[in-house]
Amino acid sequence: MRNRLALFDSGIGGFSVLKSICSRHSNFSAIYLADTARLPYGSRCKSEIREIALEISEWLNCQKIDAVIVACNTTNSLALDVVQKTLDVPVFDLIGSAIDLIRTSRIGVLATPSTVSSTTYTSYIKTINPLAFVIEEGCSGLVPLIEKRKLNSLQIKEIAANHLKNLLKEEVQEIVLGCSHFPLIKPIINELIPYNINLIDPATALSKRLDEFLGHSPSDLELIPSFPDIQFCVTSDPIRFTSATKQLLGINPKVELISLRSKSCVL
Ligand code: DGL
């Protein structure tokens, strides 16, 4: 029997995590939940994020799942314990995984304002290197534009450049993409930073952390991602989401509109 993973995010950000997992593993099925009704999460306060995380976890408790992937850094930074306490399956997170990829001691983190205010990235990085210099840059403008899928727009370039400037002037050697939406604009970010700065996508490490759980040893060659058996659920606007799956994943699934409060089972 294949394991069934549950991934959740506020919107399409978790696609970057799904892609990364599917580039390494193929022996799983999944349910992907996007809480599109409450997007963006990144400027919400801690209590709201924790309340939402509880609702999502309780809903996931009604699904047939074997593990949860928190594909949202904002939830990860402010409410990982809520998810862990509510669900009795293994929980894989992006921030905990990111530290597997840190190689230098001057690290910039580009994330949502709520993630930055939690300073969770700094705390995790300091556990592996107490002397590391970590600067976190909060960025609220990118997520709504990425959700509109204008991934190459001038506006995205300008906003990204503005925020990256604050990290570059601190001479960081690595930049962590601390919001799962940001790997979707990785080509733009790469153009805006010097070639010798390493961009870290925590989903790469998370995918590796799944090796043991998914019970096989993948080759280090990346698979061409295919998305065979994935159920997509949203809390609003399934039509817009279907067009996002077409554009970004190249698939045309049936997207279900669900109510998190109803806790009705989607099996
Ligand atoms: N993609 C999520 C994250 O990694 C949430 C972004 C948002 O909704 O603001 O933080």
Domain extent listing, the chain: 3-95+206-257, 99-202
Q: Do domains 3-95+206-257 and 99-202 have the same CATH topology?
A: yes
- Domain boundaries 3-95+206-257, corresponding CATH code: 3.40.50.1860
pLDDT at position 226 is 72
In angstroms, rounded to a whole number, what is the distance separating the alpha carbons of residues 195 and 220?
24
Share of the chain above pLDDT 90, in %: 90
Query: Does pTM surpass 0.75?
Result: yes
Of 209, 210, 244, 211, the residue nearest 14 (C-alpha): 244
Q: Is 139 a known active-site residue?
A: no
| pLDDT, the chain, mean | 94
Q: Hunting for tokens 């039509």 — which residue is that?
A: 239
Number of residues that make up the chain = 267
140 CA: nearest ligand 1 atom: 9
pLDDT at position 227 is 72
Distance between Cα 129 and ligand 1 center (Å): 26
Give mean pLDDT, residues 223-243. Answer: 89
pLDDT for residue 265 is more than 60: no
Quick one: fold of 99-202? Rossmann fold (3.40.50)
The ligand 1 site (C-beta within 6 Å) comprises: 9-10, 13, 39-42, 72-74, 112, 115, 143, 179-181
pLDDT digits (tens, 9 = 90+) for 206-229: 999 999 999 876 666 666 777 769
